[in-house]
Chain A
Amino acid sequence: MDIEKLRADRPALIAHLRRVTAELRVDILEMLCESKSGHPGASLSSIDLIAALFYAKMRFRPEQPEWPDRDRFVLSKGHGVPALYAVLAHFGVIGREELKTLRKHGSRLQGHPANRLCPGMEASTGSLGQGLSVAQGLALASRLDGDRFRVYCMIGDGESQVGQIWEAAMSAPKFALDHLCVLADYNQGQNDKLVREVMPTLEPAADKWRAFNWHVVEIDGHDIAHILGALDEAERTKGKPTLILARTIKGKGVSFMELNMKYHGVAPSPEETQRAIAEIRGRAS
C-alpha cells in the first residue's frame, strides 16, 4: 500500500477505502467478540470517518508514533476506540495480534483511550465531553510553534449533551483555529435510547455550531467521497475551525445492530459475530 500514491488518486482512494472499511469492520467485530465487552455501535458508525481521515489526511509515522510534527487525532467519544485500534493496527502503529488483547488485563488496548499506555492515543478520554478542549489546546500549541500540525477531534451526538463541548465550541472560533477540524459522528443513538428521544433539542445541530462561527459541512458519514470532500474543505477553510457534521448510523454495516441500542455497549456473541462478518463480506464482494 503506497499511501502517497493513493492520496494523489482520488478514485483509487475511494475504491480502496470501500474495501478497507469492510475489513476494518470485521476487525472491530472480532476484537469485541474476543473481549466479550465493548461498544460495537459507535465503533461501526465512526470507522468510515476514521479510516478516511487516516488514509487521506493524517501526517503520521507508524514507526515513530511520537514524531513531534504528526497531526493529532483526539477521539473524544472514547468508547468508539475499537475503531481507532483497528485503523492503527491496519497501519502498523500497533500490532494486529494485539487487537485480541482489547480490554484484557495487562493490555495497552484499554476499554477507553489511554495515551500513556498506547501509541496513537493523543489524550485519555472516555468521560464524555473532554476531548475537544484538549484538541483545542493542542491546536493552540501548534499555532504557537508556527502551525506545525493539524488537529482532528471526533465527538458524538450523545456526547454533545455535555456542557464542556459547548464551552469549547464557543472558544475555538475565538482563537481562529482553522487547523482544528471536528468530526461529529452523529450516529443517532446513545446508551439508553435514540438521541432524538433523549434530547430532541440537540437539533438543529448544524445551526448551533454555525452560530458559534464554525465552518460546518454536513455530510453522509458513510459515503467515502463525501467524507474526503469534507476533509478537503476543512483544510481549505481559513480563519475558523471546521465541524464535519457526519450523519451516521449506529452499528452501520450489520443489519441487526443498526440503530439497535442493545449494541451500544454489548459485544456480539460468537454466533452473532459470524453472522455479522458474513453480511459485511457478502456486501463487499
Chain B
Amino acid sequence: MQLSIVVPLYNEEQSVLPMYETIVRAVDPLTISYEIIFIDDGSRDETFARAAVLAEKDRRLRVIKFRRNCGQTPAMAAGIDHACGEIIVTLDGDLQNDPNDIGSFLVEIARGYDIVVGWRVDRQDRLLTRKIPSRIANWLIGRVTGVPISDNGCSLKAYRAAVIKRVPLYSEMHRFIPAMASITGARIKEIAVRHHARRFGTSKYGLSRIWRVLLDLLTIKTLVSFASRPMRCFTLIGIPLLLGGAVWMALAAHHALSGVSRPVVIESAIGLISLAGGAFLVSLGVLAEMVNWASDADVAKRPLEAMLRVEHGGPASHAPDDGTLHKGGGFEPY
C-alpha cells in the first residue's frame, strides 16, 4: 500500500459523504494504491452510521470508532497507528482542506522530505478570533522551537509512515508535530494549499486555549532542546542558583564576622533558599536523566532508520540517485 489518508471526524455527519467523494475523485487519477481511514471521535450524530454505509461498499475505506470523544490528536494518532500505507496524509474532516492538494504533497515526499506541511495561504476563517491568534501562535512556536512553520494549525500534512509512527502523539500535540518530529531529525517542507470556508457544522475551537498552548510550548521547548540530555535543562538554572546562593551565604558570613550592621539573618536566609532551590533543581535533573535512561523510547536518542541516507559501496550495489530515499536494509548505524 502506497498511501493512507487519515481523516478525524467529530460530529461531521454532513461532511462524511462529500469528504469521501472528493478524496476518491482527487486520489483515483494518481493511480496509486491507497486506503482511507475515517476516525469517528465519539460523535453524537450520524457520523459513524454514514461512514459505515460508505465502508460497506468500498474496500479501501476503514472506519475506526472511538468509545468517547478523545480529541483531535489521539484521533490522528489512532489513524496513523492503523495506517498501512508508506505515506500517510492527514486532513480535517470539515471539508476546509482540499484533497486535490494531496498530489503535490506526494511529489514533495518523493523528493526526499519526511514531513510536508500545508500552509493555508488564503485562509477562509474569521480574522479576529481565528487568523490573528493563529498568526501570533505560529510566530511564537517558530521562535521557541526553532522550527519556523507558517501554519502549524493546518491539518493537511503528509508524512513518511516510518517517521510519523515513531513520533509520540498525545494530548494536543498535533499542533506541534513538525517541532516534535524535528527531535528525530525529520526533513520538513512547507507548501501552500487551498482552503475553503466551512460549509457544514461549527468550528470546535475557541480562544480559551491560549494558556494551554503556552504551557504546551514550554513542554515542547524542553523536549526539543533537552529530550536527549534532560539534565542540562535543569542544571542550566540550578547551578547558577546554587552558586549565587553560596556566594550570598559567604557574604552574609563575612558581614556577620566583620561586625557590619546589616541584616545578616535575612541575607543568609535568602542564600539558603537559593542554595536549596538550586540543589533541588540539579537533583531533579539527575532524576530526569534517569527517567530518560531507563525508558526504551529512542525517539530522542537516535535518528530513525528511514531517515538515513545510506549508501553501500562496492560494484554490485547501486544507490538510486533519483532523490528518493534508499532504505538501508538491516544496516545498523549505531
A and B bind: no
